[in-house]
Amino acid sequence: MKIKLFGVRGSIASPGTETIGYGGNTACVYVEGVESHLIFDAGTGIRLLGEEILQDTLPVYLFFSHYHWDHIQGFPFFKPAYQQDRKLYLLSDHLPESPKSILEQMADPHFPVPVENLKAEVRVLPIEQGRIDIGELKVSTFAANHPGGCCAYRIDSPHGSFAYVTDNELFPPQQPTSTYEQWSAFLKDVDILLHDAMYLQEEQEGIHGWGHSLIPQVLQLAVDAQAKHVILFHHDPSRTDTQLDQIAQQSREWMKEQEGFHSQVFLAREGDCYELDTGILEYSPA
């Protein structure tokens, strides 16, 4: 199972000299299927992903965590949606609205190209009882803690397992949709856990309830769920490369100090590729 990161920022794209190392595009993660493409979220990173898969006409399964701007705003620039022979399936779960609502952004006064210009066969594909199989990939869903709702995904395959958990507040001020104990169970023994880790501990006072997790909380979850590898994701747009390097170092030092189980810690970086074969990870940095 091959996983490649195309957008790793939260809230808003943040291009610039101080963010070029980790990348400034918003959320988009690619999982290579057998005769299919699986994409998680359509932030600004999906534009470059579209360029990479433009030479084939394999079906695309586009999963949405939720419909906030930073997770959908790249869709109108996704060139495969304009291909005549492409099948494009939109999927989500645990959300009050259909994923077809993302097409509403392609209308005046927000966008000059109307949705009628999409040449691909675009259909909403339902997820029944929190599970859908796409070839050998078995995708499970789980309700995340985020204002307005959010969906997490876990993929299990013969080659390994991967979880995509963005915009999730592990300890929200209100009653959680999913408790910490439930998260630990859902993510138990996952090979790669990619999780929202937007804020530092000292930043909690101003952002508690916004629907994002603190970095130490995510590291602890990785240990408690015994996730073999954890990728800290959805970086704050104001976080510089230097600051993220420091977070990476501190997070790895924290993990080394834990007794018993240790996860391997990565910070999400655009272009990074992770490949699982029977649970063994091969990491290819951008």
Residue (of 115, 112, 93, 113) closest to 102 by Cα position: 115
What amino acid occupies position 251?
S
Q: What are the tens digits of pLDDT across the range 101-142?
A: 999 999 999 999 999 999 999 999 999 999 999 999 999 999
Q: What are the tens digits of pLDDT across the range 194-243?
A: 999 999 999 999 999 999 999 999 999 999 999 999 999 999 999 999 99
CATH superfamily of 2-284: Ribonuclease Z/Hydroxyacylglutathione hydrolase-like (3.60.15.10)
Q: What are the tens digits of pLDDT across the range 181-195?
A: 999 999 999 999 999
Q: What are the tens digits of pLDDT across the range 248-278?
A: 999 999 999 999 899 999 999 999 999 999 8
Residue 147 gets which letter from DSSP? T
Q: Tell me the domain boundaries of the chain.
A: 2-284
User: What angle do the packed helices 215-225 and 241-256 form, to 10 degrees?
Assistant: 40
Contact between 178 and 143 under an 8 Å Cβ cutoff? The reply is yes
Distance separating the N- and C-terminal Cα atoms of the chain? 18
Q: What is the mean pLDDT of the chain?
A: 97
Output the pLDDT for position 27. 98
Q: CA angle 64-66-67, nearest 5°?
A: 100
When pLDDT is averaged across residues 152-174 and rounded to a whole number, the result is 97
Output the pLDDT for position 279. 84
Residue percentage of the chain with pLDDT more than 70: 100
Q: What are the tens digits of pLDDT across the range 79-94?
A: 999 999 999 999 999 9
| Residue in the structure block whose two tokens are 């993990």 | 255
When pLDDT is averaged across residues 50-75 and rounded to a whole number, the result is 97
Output the pLDDT for position 36. 97
